[in-house]
A and B are shown apart, each in its own frame.
Chain A
């Protein structure tokens, strides 16, 4: 037996997945079974009946898979990445450790730290950027909220790590700089304030075409 508190969305999914298109008998069955949703069931069933007047697509044309993605598809890709980013952020907030736990917690792994010089340069090339720009990503020199999710996704893909890890790295607290380093300059270098993504793009020796491509994200 079904739960009397069955959510309306489940009931409407059941109706949509019925083998036959909505008839008076079917609508009556649902209305009697879920009287609290009677109005919504009727409205939805009528829409299903109108919808059934248009044939169902069973095959796709070649254009579906070869043509450049439509505006709707492009927007959906971007929206999907934004939503995943949001979900990851919510998860971090919900799973946030207490202050004492945070103090004892291990630092978040830097996904760039495993790269050797050649891999680092190759990553810069793959991202259509410069080593300076990638160094800013590595060193969290960019305001994380200003980094477009689509770009974060690309970084994760090129690094071969989950996007959540890259997001966590960008949002992690700034790490301490190297301690046993001697500097020729009189003053020890201080950490620069973070730049926005756009500022970082503008200030990383990128060609103007590269800048444009990056800012399109």
Chain B
């Protein structure tokens, strides 16, 4: 049976792995390296021999503690192959000029967590892909300190075009790149409204997009409008 996790949830209880992850770990924990090697070749998540990324993290921690260098090297390489694949799907070269650098930095952070036997790896044993976002999202934010890659249309072009995330999610992935390339204040206003916040309120106790950003409702509307205009121009460009 796998060792219990020690990290606590926001409610103070200890995190536990999802049942399928526990089963996956129990099946793999005592298997010889040759068997693990074969199982690492399985790529379909529905195959019973598939090793989840959560399970691989657990096996890596176990190999680190045992000083099993060969097992550690094999598991690390395969985990990083997956991480690279995930990051390529999440941070595309079209997002920014230094996308590969961002992917590499996030990978390095995970290396450090493993090498230092960080307790944060508990989160990766619970939901690997979700926890991985904590490594690459801060890198994305830092990398955004650069001029927009995408040539936006003039601001008076097609001003009434309305854009919502429901619409953009069904379209080309370049829209995500476009959203990511918005200036921080416009992105913030756009996403807060999309996330369900009111622009402003007469109730001073209510949290709104304006109170979060510390600006007036009018400024929020203006930022939101600019963001929409830029995205609308892109949508127009991408229409068949």
A residues engaging B (CB < 8 A)?
1-2, 9-14, 16-17, 22-25, 27-28, 31, 33, 38, 42-51, 53-62, 64-66, 69-73, 75-77, 79-80, 83-84, 86-87, 153, 156-157, 161-164
Contact = CB atoms under 8 A, between A and B. Distances in A.
Contacts of B212: 31, 38, 42
Contacts of A77: 73, 76-77, 80
Given A46-B188, A53-B165, A157-B70, A24 B10 contact: no
Contact of B77 (A23, A55, A58, A69): A69
B103 A60 contact: no
A53 B163 CA distance: 14
Contacts of A9: 120, 134
A53 B168 contact: yes
Given A10-B7, A16-B134, A153-B69, A76 B45 contact: no
B108 A79 contact: yes
11 contacts: A11-B10, A13-B120, A17-B127, A24-B192, A46-B195, A49-B191, A49-B195, A58-B45, A64-B81, A64-B85, A71-B100
Interface in B6-61: 7-12, 40-41, 43-46
Contacts of B202: none
A163 B207 contact: no
Interface in B154-180: 165, 168-169, 173, 175-176, 179-180
B104 interface: yes
Contact of B195 (A27, A58, A59, A76): A27
